[in-house]
Structure 1
Amino acid sequence: MKLTLSVPLLLSTLVASKSFLFGNQQQPLVDDSLSVPGDNPLSFCANPSDYILTIEKVDLDPNPPEKGKALQIKAKGNFTQKIEQDAYINLSVKYGLITLINTQADLCEQMKEVDESCPLEGAKDFTKDVTLPKQIPRGTYTVLADVYTKTDVQITCLRAIVHFS
C-alpha cells in the first residue's frame, strides 16, 4: 500500500471513536489524562508537556467515522519550536497482532496534504476532508504516530485503538 494512500486511512484510524470500540460494557486501558482535547478519541503516548507541538484541539465530523463515508478533521495547535526539513513520522498500524504498516514518512511532505510547508512554527489551524475506503476490513486496529525533528527530538506522539465492524 502506498504511503500517500494510507495516510487518510491512518489519520482516520487514529481519530476513530473509543466508544465505538469499547461501548458501555468495557473500560479502555487508556489514561484519560492523556486524551487529546476536542471531539476525538486520540491519546498522547506520554505527558505532552515536553512535546514541541501543543495540540489545542482535534474535532471529527462525524465521530465516530464510518468506512466508505466522508470524514472532516479539524485541528488546532502550536509549534513551540521551528520544525525544519527532515523531520519525520514513525507510523505503525496493526490489525490485531498483525503489523500492516511500519514505516517512516517525511513530516514536511505529509504536511503538504493540509497546505502547509516547512519550516513549521507557531500557531497552526487546519481542516482536512477525507473519504474512508469502503474496503476497510472488519476488526481491531492499533495505530501509533510518533513524530520527531531531524535531530530526533520528539514533536508529538499519538495513539488510538479502532474497531471497524
Structure 2
Amino acid sequence: MRLSTACVATLSASVVSAGSWFAGSQDVIVGEATKVPGDSPLEFCDSDHSKDIVHIDQVDLLPNPPEAGAELVIRATGTVFETIEDGAYVNLVVKYGLIRLVNTRADLCEQVSNVDLECPIEKGVLSITKAVEIPKEVPPGTYNVHAEVVTKDGKPITCLQATVKFGGSRSMGDL
C-alpha cells in the first residue's frame, strides 16, 4: 500500500529499519518523551532507555518537516552496543489522525536492507545517509508513528515516535 509506505517514510523513511541507527537515550526520563538530537520530528518513547542496545547521537531530515512529492534525505549516527542478530523485530503503529493505518510486527533484519545494511549488525559506530521519495499522493493531515524495536529475546533496541503534518497547516480537522 503506497500510503503506508509514505507514512513509514514520514518517520525518517524507514523506521522499520530503526534498529540499525535509531536508539534510546541513555538518560531516563519518566512521564514525558524526549526529542532525538538533530533536526527531525523524532522523539524517544516515554520509557527507560538505559538498557537500549543502540544509542542515537543525531538524526537530521532534509527537508524537515518532510514534504509530499519531495525527496527526503535522512542522516543518522549512533552506536550499537551489542550485535543485533536475526530474529529482532519492530512493532510499528502508524495513525492518520485517529485512524490506524498500520499495526504490524516486522522482521528487523528484512527491513534494514532499506538503509543498505544486513544482519547481523555488529557493535560499533554507525553512520547512515539515505534518500527516499515521499509519494505526492500522501493526503494532507497529521500522521503519528510509534516504533518499538526489540531483539529476538525481547531486549530493547529502541523505541521512537514522531508526529508529522503534511499539507502545511491543514490537518484532519481542517478537511
Tell me which interval the TM-score lies in, with the shorter structure as reference length. Answer: 0.7 to 0.9
* Equivalent residues of 1:15, 1:160 under 8 A apart: no
Give 2:98's aligned residue: 97
Unaligned runs of 5+ in 1: 17-29
In the aligned structure 2, how far is the partner of 1:142 from the partner of 1:65? 13
Give 1:72's aligned residue: 73
**Which segment drifts farther, 92-101 or 46-55?**
46-55
Cα deviations across residues 78-111 of structure 1 (Å, max 9, x unaligned)?
A: 1111111010001100111111000011111111
Give 2:11's aligned residue: 14
Q: How does 1:19-98 map to 2 (within 5 A)?
A: 31=32, 34-45=34-45, 46-98=47-99
Cα deviations across residues 113-134 of structure 1 (Å, max 9, x unaligned)?
A: 1111111122111111001011
Give every structure 1 segment of 4 or more consecutive aligned residues whose post-TM-superposition deviation is greater than 3 Å: 5-9
Which residue identity lines up with residue 159 of structure 2 in the other structure? C
Q: TM-score, normalised by structure 1?
A: 0.82
Cα deviations across residues 12-64 of structure 1 (Å, max 9, x unaligned)?
A: 32249xxxxxxxxxxxxx947x1101111210003433211101110111111
User: Number of residue pairs matched?
Assistant: 148
Structure 1 residues 126 and 35: CA distance shift in structure 2, 3 A:
same
* Equivalent residues of 1:8, 1:130 under 8 A apart: no
Unaligned runs of 5+ in 2: 14-30, 168-175
Q: TM-score, normalised by structure 2?
A: 0.78
Give 1:124's aligned residue: 126
